[in-house]
Structure 1
Amino acid sequence: MQSLCRDCGRYKPEKEVQLGICDECFNHGAPRTSPPTSVVSPSAASIVPDIIITTSIDVPRREIDKVISIVAAEAALGVNVFRDIANSWRDIFGGRSASSQNALREARTACLDELKREAAAVGADAVIAVALNYNQVSTGGSGGSILFVAASGTAVKLTNP
C-alpha cells in the first residue's frame, strides 16, 4: 500500500511515510522543482477535523482499536510591547489581565486545532492523554516576548460505536 507525502506530493511505500511526510522529505526537505500534485486551498487548510481530544487515557463508551502514534503541535504567539506594559501595571496593582488571558486562550486554541489536524493526517479518530505545556521567551531589547504552547498526545483509532 502507498501513502501520499504532503510535502512533495508523491506516493511512497507506506513504511516510508510517517505522519504524512516521507523519509526523503523529512531528512532532506521536499524537492521544489515542481509544485505538489495535490494543492490544499487556504480555506481547506483552516478546516479543523472532528477529532476527539481528551486528557484521559480512554474515551468514554468507546474502545480503542489501535494506537497509531504520538502526535504533537505547537503554537507561538507574539506578545507586543503594549500588552507587556499593561501586564507590568497588573504586577504592581494586582488583578487579572484580560489581555494575557486572551493571548493564552488564542495560543491554546490554535495549538489544539493543529493537534486535531495532525491526528487526522495519520488517520486517527481521537487523541488521548493530551498534555499542554506553556512557556514564554523574551525577544530581547524590543520589549516583546513570544508565548509558546505545545500539545502532545497519543493518536488512536476507535472502534465504531
Structure 2
Amino acid sequence: MAQLLCKECGKYKPEKEVQLSICDDCFKYGAPRKTQQSAALQPAAPTVSVDADHIILTTSIDIPNRSIERVVSIVAAEAALGMNVFRDIANNWRDFVGGRSNSAQKSLKEARTACLDELRREASALGADAVIAVDLDYNELTTGGAGILFVAATGTAVKLAPLVPDP
C-alpha cells in the first residue's frame, strides 16, 4: 500500500489515512509540536523522483469508463514568462498589419505546457491518478514596454478506483 506524507506532522502514513495531504491524527487532534530534540531524531524524508507521465489531465468532471475513488486535493500551478522586447516589437507589427503572431503563440504554448506539467507533478506527489476539472487562466501584464505573460492552471487531484476486468 502506498504511503503519503502528511504536511502537518511530516510523517508518512498509509494512503487511506491521508486526505487533502493531512493525516487523520493531525486532522482530529492537531499536529504534534516538534521540539528541537525530536526534530533532530526524526529521519529525513526519502527523496522520491516524481514520474508524472501517467497522470491523466482532463477539463471534464469525470473520466470515461473510470470511477473516482476519492478526492485527494486541489492542485495549482503558475507560469510567468517575460516577453522580450523583440517579441513585443514583432507582436506590435502583427497588430498593425494583421495575421497570426507565431512568437505570442509560442509563448502561450510554452506557459500552458509548463503549467500542465507542474499539475501532473503536484498530483503525482500527492499520490493521485488524475486531475479533473482542469481550468487554465491567461493574463498579461505590460510594464514599461515589456510584457509578462501569466498562466495559471488549477484542478482537482483524484484517486481512481482500480479497473475491474470484464468477466
Same-fold status (TM-score > 0.5): yes
Q: Which amino acid aligns with 2:156?
A: T
By how many angstroms is 1:40 displaced? 5.5
- Tell me, in whole angstroms, the C-alpha distance in 1 between the residues paired with 2:113 and 2:58: 14
Pair 1:111 & 2:115 matched = yes
- Give the structure-1-normalised TM-score: 0.74
By how many angstroms is 1:18 displaced? 3.3
After superposition, residues 23-38 of structure 1 pair within 5 angstroms as 37=44
| Residue in 2 that maps onto 1:152 | 154
By how many angstroms is 1:76 displaced? 1.0
After superposition, residues 5-154 of structure 1 pair within 5 angstroms as 11=11, 18=21, 37=44, 44=49, 47-138=51-142, 140-141=143-144, 143-154=145-156
Structure 2 gap segments, 5+ residues each: 23-29, 32-42
By how many angstroms is 1:122 displaced? 1.2
RMSD between superposed Cα atoms in Å? 3.2
- Give the structure-2-normalised TM-score: 0.71
Whether the 8 Å contact between 2:21 and 2:72 is mirrored in structure 1 is no
After superposition, the C-alpha distances for 1:24-67 in whole angstroms (9 at most, x for unaligned) are: 9xxxxxxxxxxx945859xx56x543200000010011000111
Larger Cα Rg: Structure 1 or Structure 2?
Answer: 2
Percent of matched pairs sharing the same residue: 58
